[in-house]
Amino acid sequence: MWINLDKKNDRPLMRQLYEQIKHLILNGQLAPAEKLPSTRQLATDLGISRSTVLEAYNQLIAEGYLIGNHGSGTVVANGIDVFSIPPDTATKKCAATMIATKVPPSAVIDFQSGVIDSSRFPLSAWKKAYQRSLDQIPEAAFRYHPSAGVMRLRQTIAAYLRRTRGLTCHPDQIMIVSGSTQGLALIAALFQDQRQAVLIEDPTHPGLRQIIERAKLHLIGIQVDDQGLLTDSLNAHPNPAFVYTTPSHQYPLGGILPIQRRQKLIQYAIANDTYLLEDDYDSEFRFEGQPVSSLYELSPDRVIYLGTFSKILTPAIRLGYLILPDQLIEPYLELKKYSDVHTEALTQYALAEFIESGGLEKHIWKMKKIYVKKRQHLIDELSRCYPDTFEIKGHAAGLHMVVRFNGVVFDGPLINRINAHQVRVYPIENYVFGNPAPYGSDILLGYAHLTFAEITTGITRLCTALRQDES
C-alpha cells in the first residue's frame, strides 16, 4: 500500500491519509477483503502518530470503506464499485507541492535502529577474499548445492562460534539462509501445521511479528522488563509452537536475560515439549565485558539459534544461519529445498574465505571501537542539550539505545513537532504488541549509521523540539 504524506502541507495528516486510502479503494488498488497494516505498523512506516492512523481508519470505517474486525485487523469492505478517478487539479497541485517541498534525505537525521555504518565496510579485504575464493573453488561449485549450504562455510561458522562465543555445535546442524528474515520465516513455516500459538517478547520488532503472522501462527505477547523476558508469565500459555526471544540483547529495550530466567525458559520448553528460537542479532557488539553466553549452550536440543552477518558486516550479502536440533534438520531441509533450493553459493565461499583469513574478527574489533565512541558521543550530546532527567536503557550492547525522558510523553503532536525539525525518533510504544506498559516517555535512538556531526545535529534538533513542547 503506497502512501505518501506531505508533512509541510497545510492539510492535516489524518485527512491526507484518509483520502489516499479511500482513493486506493475506489481505484481498485486495494481489493475487497484485503487486510490493511495495523495502526501501529502503518504509523511506524509513515513516521506519524498511531492516533492519526487510528482516526483515519475510524473515519473510513464510519463511511463504509473499511471493516474493523476485533482480533483480526482492518480489511477493505465488500460491495464497493471500482472506477477510475482521474487526477484533478487539486491532486496535481498536491503532488507538485510534495515534490517541490520534500526535504532531501540528507537533511533529515534519522535515528533508525538496525542500520550499520556501511561507510566502514572492508571493501578491499572483501574483494581479495572473494577473488581468492573464486580462484580456489572447483567447477562443481557452479552447480546446484545442498539446501543446507556450502559445507566449507558451515564448518567455518562452527569454528568461529566456538572461538568467539564458546558455542559448540556440529557443522551438520548449521543451515545457511538468505538473512535472518528468511531464517525466521522458514522456522515459522516449519511449525505452521503443528500448533497455532507463538510466544514473542513484548515489545519487539514489528517486522518479525509480520513474518510469523504470514505463517498463519497466532502471536501471544509476553511482557519484558529491563532484564528481558518475564519467564514467570510463560506458564499461562502452554504448548506453543515456539518461543521467540532475544536473550543476549532484548530488542528494543536492551536487557540481558539473567541465568535464573534462562533456566526457567529451558524448563518451560522441556515441560511443554516446545522450542526456543534464540535470535542473536547483534551480540558481537557488546561494550562492557565479554560477549554474553548463548541460550543454545544450555539446551541444544530445545534451542534454535538464529544468527546473521547483516549487523556485523553488511546486509548486502544476505547471509545468515540457523543452528538446529537434530530432530528438526530433515523437515527443515525439505522445506528449504522447495523454498529456494539453496542460498546463493558464491558469496558463501567468499564469506568462508573472509572469516578464515581473520577479516571478520578484525572488522568487528574495529567497529566496536567506533560504535562505542558514537554511543558515548550520543550520551554526551544528550547531557549537553537536555540536562534534565533522562534515563538510558540497554547501553551495554548493540547499535541503538533506549532513552526515557522523564516528564515527556511522545504522543502524536510531539512526534509531528520533532519531525518538523527534520529529525526522526521512534517511540517504544510503536513496538508494543499488546501488553499495556509505561513506555510513553521512551524512544529508540539508533546511532551506528550516523556520523558524529549528524548525532550532534540530530540531538540538538530533538532537544529544541522538546523545549518548544515544554513552553
Q: Which CATH number belongs to the domain containing residue 292 in this structure?
A: 3.40.640.10
State whether 75 and 115 are in the same domain: no
Cβ burial of 36 (10 Å; 0-12, 13-18, 19+) is buried
User: How would residue 10 be classed by pLDDT, with cut points 50, 70 and 90?
Assistant: confident
Task: Report if residue 171 sits inside a domain.
Answer: yes
Which of 358, 389, 420 represents a domain boundary (last residue)?
A: 358
Angle formed at CA 264 by CA 205 and CA 289, multiple of 5 degrees: 65
State whether 147 and 245 are in the same domain: yes
More confident residue, 319 or 468: 319
State whether 188 and 70 are in the same domain: no
**Predicted pLDDT at 139:** 86
DSSP code, position 429: G
State whether 427 and 293 are in the same domain: no
Q: Is residue 193 a contact partner of residue 239, using CB atoms and an 8 Å limit?
A: no
Residue 452 has pLDDT above 50, yes or no: yes
Q: Rounded to whole angstroms, how far apart are CA atoms 343 and 181?
A: 13
Report the domain count for the chain.
3
If we measure between CA atoms, which residue out of 12, 16, 25 comes closest to residue 63? 25
Residue 97 has pLDDT above 80, yes or no: no
Residue 87 has pLDDT above 60, yes or no: no
**Predicted pLDDT at 285:** 65
Give the whole-number percent of the chain exceeding pLDDT 70. Answer: 90
More confident residue, 159 or 91: 159
Which of 358, 389, 410 represents a domain boundary (last residue)?
A: 358
State whether 77 and 112 are in the same domain: no
For the stretch 289-308, what's the b/e string if a residue is b when 16 or more beta carbons lie within 10 angstroms of its beta carbon? eebbbbbbbbbbebbbbbbb
Q: Is residue 250 a contact partner of residue 257, using CB atoms and an 8 Å limit?
A: yes
Q: What is the mean pLDDT of residues 228-248?
A: 94
Q: Which of 7-21, 262-276, 392-406 shows the lowest per-residue confidence on average (mean pLDDT)? A: 392-406
pLDDT tens-digit map of 364-412: 999 999 999 999 999 999 999 887 788 888 656 678 999 999 889 999 8
Task: Report if residue 5 sits inside a domain.
Answer: no
Residues 6 or more apart whose Cβ sits within 8 Å of residue 180: 279, 281, 306, 307, 308, 310, 320
Task: Report if residue 302 sits inside a domain.
Answer: yes
Which of 291, 323, 358 represents a domain boundary (last residue)?
A: 358
Q: Rounded to whole angstroms, how far apart are CA atoms 194 and 217?
A: 10
If we measure between CA atoms, which residue out of 395, 411, 400 comes closest to residue 466? 411
Which range marks the domain in which residue 32 is found?
13-93
pLDDT tens-digit map of 284-324: 666 555 567 889 999 999 999 999 998 889 889 899 999 99
State whether 150 and 201 are in the same domain: yes
**Predicted pLDDT at 68:** 87
Residue 134: other Cβ atoms inside 10 A: 13
Listed in sequence order, the DSSP H helices in 32-75 are 39-46, 50-62
Q: Is residue 245 a contact partner of residue 201, using CB atoms and an 8 Å limit?
A: yes
Residue 47 has pLDDT above 90, yes or no: no
Mean pLDDT estimate for the chain = 87
Q: Rounded to whole angstroms, how far apart are CA atoms 172 and 333?
A: 11
More confident residue, 10 or 111: 111
Q: Is residue 261 a contact partner of residue 228, using CB atoms and an 8 Å limit?
A: yes
Residue 99 has pLDDT above 50, yes or no: no
User: How would residue 100 be classed by pLDDT, with cut points 50, 70 and 90?
Assistant: very low
State whether 339 and 221 are in the same domain: yes
Task: Report if residue 17 sits inside a domain.
Answer: yes
* pTM (two decimals): 0.75
Cell of 183: 531464517
Domain of residue 394, CATH code: 3.90.1150.10
State whether 345 and 402 are in the same domain: no
Give the whole-number percent of the chain exceeding pLDDT 90. Answer: 51
Residue 345 has pLDDT above 70, yes or no: yes
pLDDT tens-digit map of 414-433: 999 999 999 999 999 989 98
pLDDT tens-digit map of 321-336: 999 999 999 999 999 9
Q: Is residue 186 a contact partner of residue 177, using CB atoms and an 8 Å limit?
A: yes
Q: Which of 7-11, 53-57, 283-287, 372-376 shows the lowest per-residue confidence on average (mean pLDDT)? A: 283-287
State whether 170 and 307 are in the same domain: yes
